[in-house]
């Protein structure tokens, strides 16, 4: 309080608000006194001293309307003292209100964000106490009721953000004028872990108005198992990438945000040690990007859009066909966080349907575009109603001509919870149209799990006759683990569309996930998923910046499969990853030399031919010694004569030269001998000296 008092005193903008302020001595209980403001400094545990000070300055508190505020402060007190303070405050007046901002666990302490948050406060030696005693919104409300308050209502900050009575669309959208924003999942996670509670000694609305997102629902649960594979050393950290199939039992995760920056590389994953060519991957000449899409149809794959920064969306598109990647027609409007799906209109031509996304100006897009290799991108005619514009939605094809669409986020930053079916068709005249039907009202009143279906940033995959919806955020923010992966039964949905009175309860089911104890719970935001076998979906990548608490990265892979006793996951990154600067048109071939059995300290050094700086960068990242052959290292081959080196390096510098003759027939270098170290040092020193001298020229 002394520091706050001094800050007010020294800051003209603050002191001018209370020109009649008095500043007593620092050892006084009252540290600042004015007609409109009184600053009292005391230990809140000493409630009798606090009440004595209030009465000496104000008289009877019951004569006043009182507002108490606590912004992440009570939680640092021991629970007993904090509860006593709340009970004391409820007795001050018949018109006392309390506004509390504090942390809580929306899905228990085991959620990755919760763990990161708690570890942060533990490291700072400022542990949170109340959160363990009152971890949920309902328990926080009951805490105030038990302390004598007649009304208490708590809502998460994410609920308040999405509440039009708290912030309207214009207020939310106006924030984009100051800074482009695209960290929605991270914002939702943070806002889901903080709540604002209003309590009053006046009787108001009934308590418990806040709906606990984790309420139980009577619904079918299909037992699945999420099997982790989390090695001690994992180098596949990236989020907001896109899956590219490579071959059987191998997929690649392309682009995304890495440890430091956006990536143009692709990390291969396999359940076995198999080789692959970089030709299978998108070429690095495509450029670094995140929030893009890849659409697979047959042996082809179309990579679409994405972004650099939120104000720099990308419109280029790349098609993999016959094992080669080539640039095709660009999007009419560059966008990111759009949704794409493959469709088949017959006549031997494949198409890609694109919906939504966000543009460079921050506008949310609502158009449907259709791509074909012959015609490029064209806007498609919509029959019946058109959904609200959105980005980050789920668009799924069921039989190549029909499908569903749900979720996504509006222009105002609110997760949408509507549900649409779509059907694409071609008329006899060749005109292509898209018919949409909204089923939101019919489904929401009949399916207990419908509230968890509308998501932003989730992934959706076909697994048999079901659609697997994984992760993301909802209108409630963080998704409870019980509903983090849900299944939509296609057969039940079709039956419901024919007869709305039947099959509604079996359309959606919780996955009933059980995560093995030998692996952590994944943070299912920024992740990617792909069906790798019948009734198996692979989850890779993902993570989030957890506010100022630190960054959480998923450190492995997770395989969603039936909950059988012998369920295993052997999917791991295939080393090395395809580096962001690797040549798209060349595979580095390393030819190992004959191995001669000798001491354990001897290693085989491979001979490698490279053709570009990208190839060299790949070798550097492997951190393994190699011998480079066939290099064009410039005029030094001719100019580095004895006379030149004497002048450039210095005639008094000791030089150790090691030739093939010195290595002998075995061509072995012993890394623990002076010969190896001498060779390495002379190369480094000579190059450094040469660069230093030539830079002065």
| C-alpha Rg value of the chain to the nearest Å | 32
pLDDT of residue 504: 67
Give the chain's end-to-end CA distance (angstroms, integer): 63
Question: For 541, phi and psi rounded to 5 degrees?
Answer: 70, -175
Distance CA 490, CA 511 (A): 15
Taking 80 as the threshold, does the pLDDT of residue 674 lie above it?
no
The Cα-based distances of 512 to 204, 226, 474, 480 in angstroms read 39, 10, 19, 12
- Angle at 395 (CA atoms; ends 391, 399), nearest 5 degrees: 165
Same domain, 31 and 131: no
Residues 127-138 have a mean pLDDT of 97
pLDDT of residue 223: 80
Q: Are strands 606-609 and 514-515 parallel, antiparallel or unpaired?
A: unpaired
- 582 part of a folded domain: no
- SS3 category, 627: strand
pLDDT of residue 215: 47
Report helix angle 79-89 to 47-58, nearest 10: 30
Taking 80 as the threshold, does the pLDDT of residue 593 lie above it?
no
Per-residue pLDDT of 267-281, as tens digits, reads 999 988 776 666 678
Tokens of 377: 């991108």
Distance CA 559, CA 530 (A): 10
Same domain, 57 and 19: no
Taking 80 as the threshold, does the pLDDT of residue 685 lie above it?
no
Question: For 102, phi and psi rounded to 5 degrees?
Answer: -160, 170
- 206 part of a folded domain: no
Per-residue pLDDT of 479-492, as tens digits, reads 999 999 999 999 99
Per-residue pLDDT of 72-122, as tens digits, reads 999 999 999 999 999 999 999 999 999 999 999 999 999 999 999 999 999
User: Which residues are CB-contacts of 498 (< 8 A; sequence separation ≥ 6)?
Assistant: none
- 583 part of a folded domain: no
Give the pLDDT band (50/70/90) at residue 676: very low
Same domain, 26 and 55: no
pTM of the model: 0.80
Distance CA 97, CA 101 (A): 14
Same domain, 374 and 519: yes
Q: Which of 417-421, 486-490, 616-620, 690-694 has the lowest mean pLDDT?
A: 690-694
- 208 part of a folded domain: no
- Is residue 400 within 8 Å of residue 390, measured between CB atoms? no
The DSSP annotation for 409-459 comes to B-TTS-B---EEEEEEEE-TTS-EEEEEEE-HHHHHTT-TTGGGT--BS-E
Same domain, 49 and 184: yes
Question: What CATH number is attached to the domain comprising 569?
Answer: 2.120.10.80
- Is residue 473 within 8 Å of residue 415, measured between CB atoms? yes
Distance CA 436, CA 385 (A): 6
Distance CA 331, CA 316 (A): 6
Give the pLDDT band (50/70/90) at residue 602: low
Task: Give 12: exposed, middle or buried? Use CB within 10 Å, 0-12, 13-18, 19+.
Answer: exposed
Same domain, 303 and 282: yes
In the numeric block, the tokens 């008094």 are attached to: 652
- 216 part of a folded domain: no
Which DSSP helix (H) or strand (E) runs through 245? strand 242-247
Same domain, 2 and 96: no
- 578 part of a folded domain: no
Taking 50 as the threshold, does the pLDDT of residue 44 lie above it?
yes
Distance CA 77, CA 4 (A): 20
Distance CA 358, CA 391 (A): 6
Distance CA 53, CA 5 (A): 17
Taking 90 as the threshold, does the pLDDT of residue 458 lie above it?
yes
Split into its structural domains, the chain has a count of: 4
- Is residue 458 within 8 Å of residue 415, measured between CB atoms? no
Same domain, 87 and 17: no
Per-residue pLDDT of 71-83, as tens digits, reads 999 999 999 999 9
Spell 557-588 as b/e; 16+ CB within 10 A means b. Answer: bbbbbeeeeebebebbbbebbbbbbbbbebeb
Distance CA 462, CA 472 (A): 17
Same domain, 522 and 667: no
- Is residue 279 within 8 Å of residue 323, measured between CB atoms? yes
Taking 70 as the threshold, does the pLDDT of residue 597 lie above it?
no
- SS3 category, 31: strand
Same domain, 472 and 369: yes
Bridge partners (DSSP) of residue 156 are 195
Residues 493-521 have a mean pLDDT of 79
- 205 part of a folded domain: no
Tokens of 92: 């001050």
Taking 90 as the threshold, does the pLDDT of residue 505 lie above it?
no
pLDDT of residue 18: 93
- Is residue 507 within 8 Å of residue 447, measured between CB atoms? yes
Which DSSP helix (H) or strand (E) runs through 331? none
Domain with 167, as residue range(s), is: 42-200
Distance CA 509, CA 513 (A): 11
Same domain, 162 and 179: yes
Taking 90 as the threshold, does the pLDDT of residue 641 lie above it?
no
Question: What CATH number is attached to the domain comprising 133?
Answer: 3.40.50.150
Per-residue pLDDT of 315-372, as tens digits, reads 999 999 988 899 999 999 999 999 999 999 987 778 999 999 999 999 999 999 999 9
Residues 160-176 have a mean pLDDT of 93
- 220 part of a folded domain: no
The count of C-alpha atoms lying within 13 angstroms of the C-alpha of 546, restricted to the half-sphere facing its C-beta, is 23
The Cα-based distances of 314 to 294, 317, 331, 407, 614 in angstroms read 14, 9, 8, 23, 23
* Mean pLDDT score across all residues of the chain: 85
Taking 60 as the threshold, does the pLDDT of residue 682 lie above it?
no
Taking 50 as the threshold, does the pLDDT of residue 514 lie above it?
yes
Taking 80 as the threshold, does the pLDDT of residue 677 lie above it?
no
Same domain, 334 and 287: yes
Residue 471: other Cβ atoms inside 10 A: 21
- Is residue 288 within 8 Å of residue 264, measured between CB atoms? yes
pLDDT of residue 449: 93
The DSSP annotation for 102-171 comes to EE--TT-TTSHHHHHHHHHHHHTT----HHHHS-SHHHHHHHHHHTT-SEEEEEEHHHHHH-TTTS-HHH
Distance CA 286, CA 305 (A): 10
């Amino acid at each position: 309080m002394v520091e706050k008092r001094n800050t007010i005193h020294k800051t003209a903008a603050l002191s001018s608000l209370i020109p009649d302020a008095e500043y007593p001595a620092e050892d006084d209980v009252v540290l600042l006194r004015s007609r409109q403001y009184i600053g009292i400094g005391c230990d809140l545990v000493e409630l009798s001293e606090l009440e004595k000070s209030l009465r000496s300055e104000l008289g009877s508190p019951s004569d006043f309307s009182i507002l108490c505020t606590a912004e992440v402060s009570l939680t640092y007190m021991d629970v007993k003292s904090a509860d006593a303070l709340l009970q004391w405050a409820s007795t001050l007046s018949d018109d006392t209100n309390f506004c509390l901002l504090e942390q809580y666990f929306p899905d228990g302490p085991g959620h990755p964000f919760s763990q990161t948050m708690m570890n942060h406060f533990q490291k700072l030696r400022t542990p949170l106490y109340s959160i363990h005693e009152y971890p949920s919104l309902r328990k926080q409300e009951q805490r105030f009721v038990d302390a004598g308050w007649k009304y208490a209502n708590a809502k998460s900050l994410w609920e308040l953000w999405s509440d039009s009575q708290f912030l309207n669309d214009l207020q939310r959208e106006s924030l984009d004028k100051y800074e482009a924003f695209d960290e929605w999942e991270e914002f939702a996670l943070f806002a889901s872990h903080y709540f604002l509670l209003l309590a009053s000694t006046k009787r108001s609305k009934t308590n418990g108005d806040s709906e606990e997102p984790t309420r139980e629902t009577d619904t079918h649960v299909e037992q699945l198992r999420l099997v982790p594979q989390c090695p001690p050393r994992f180098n596949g950290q990236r989020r907001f990438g896109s899956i590219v199939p490579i071959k059987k039992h191998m997929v690649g995760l392309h682009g995304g945000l890495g440890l430091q920056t956006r990536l143009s590389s692709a990390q291969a994953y396999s359940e076995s040690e198999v080789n692959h060519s970089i030709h299978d991957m998108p070429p690095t000449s495509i450029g670094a990007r995140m929030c893009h899409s890849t659409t697979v149809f047959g042996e082809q794959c179309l990579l679409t859009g994405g972004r650099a920064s939120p104000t720099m969306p990308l419109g280029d598109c790349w098609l993999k066909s016959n094992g080669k990647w080539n640039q095709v027609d660009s999007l009419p409007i560059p966008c990111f966080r759009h949704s794409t799906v493959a469709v088949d209109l017959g006549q031997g031509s494949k198409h890609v349907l694109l919906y939504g996304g966000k543009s460079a100006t921050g506008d949310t897009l609502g158009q449907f575009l259709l791509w074909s290799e012959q015609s490029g991108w064209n806007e498609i005619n919509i029959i019946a109603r058109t959904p609200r514009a959105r980005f980050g939605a789920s668009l799924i094809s069921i039989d190549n001509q029909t499908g569903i669409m749900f979720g996504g986020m509006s222009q105002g930053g609110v997760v949408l919870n509507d549900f649409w079916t779509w059907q694409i068709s071609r008329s006899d005249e060749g005109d292509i149209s898209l018919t949409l039907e909204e089923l939101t009202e019919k489904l929401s009143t009949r399916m207990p799990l419908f509230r968890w279906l509308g998501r932003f940033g989730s992934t959706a995959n076909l697994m048999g006759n079901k659609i697997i919806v994984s992760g993301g955020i909802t209108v409630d923010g963080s998704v409870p683990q019980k509903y983090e992966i849900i299944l939509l039964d296609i057969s039940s949905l079709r039956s419901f569309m024919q007869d709305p009175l039947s099959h509604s309860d079996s359309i959606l089911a919780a996955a009933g996930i059980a995560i093995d104890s030998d692996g952590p719970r994944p943070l299912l935001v920024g992740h990617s998923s792909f069906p790798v076998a019948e009734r198996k979906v692979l989850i890779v990548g993902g993570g989030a910046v957890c506010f100022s608490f630190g960054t959480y990265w998923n450190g492995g892979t997770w395989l969603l499969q039936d909950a059988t006793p012998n369920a295993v996951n052997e999917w791991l990154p295939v080393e090395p990853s395809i580096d962001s600067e690797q040549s798209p048109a060349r595979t580095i071939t390393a030819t190992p030399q004959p191995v001669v059995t000798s001491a354990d300290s001897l290693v085989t050094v491979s001979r490698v031919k490279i053709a570009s700086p990208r190839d060299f960068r790949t070798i550097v990242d492997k951190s393994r010694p190699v011998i480079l052959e066939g290099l064009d290292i410039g005029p030094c081959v001719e100019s580095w004569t004895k006379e030149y080196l004497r002048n450039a390096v210095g005639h008094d510098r000791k030089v150790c030269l090691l030739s093939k003759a010195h290595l002998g027939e075995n061509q072995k270098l012993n890394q623990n001998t002076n010969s190896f170290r001498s060779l390495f040092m002379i190369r480094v020193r000579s190059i450094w000296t040469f660069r230093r001298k030539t830079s002065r020229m």
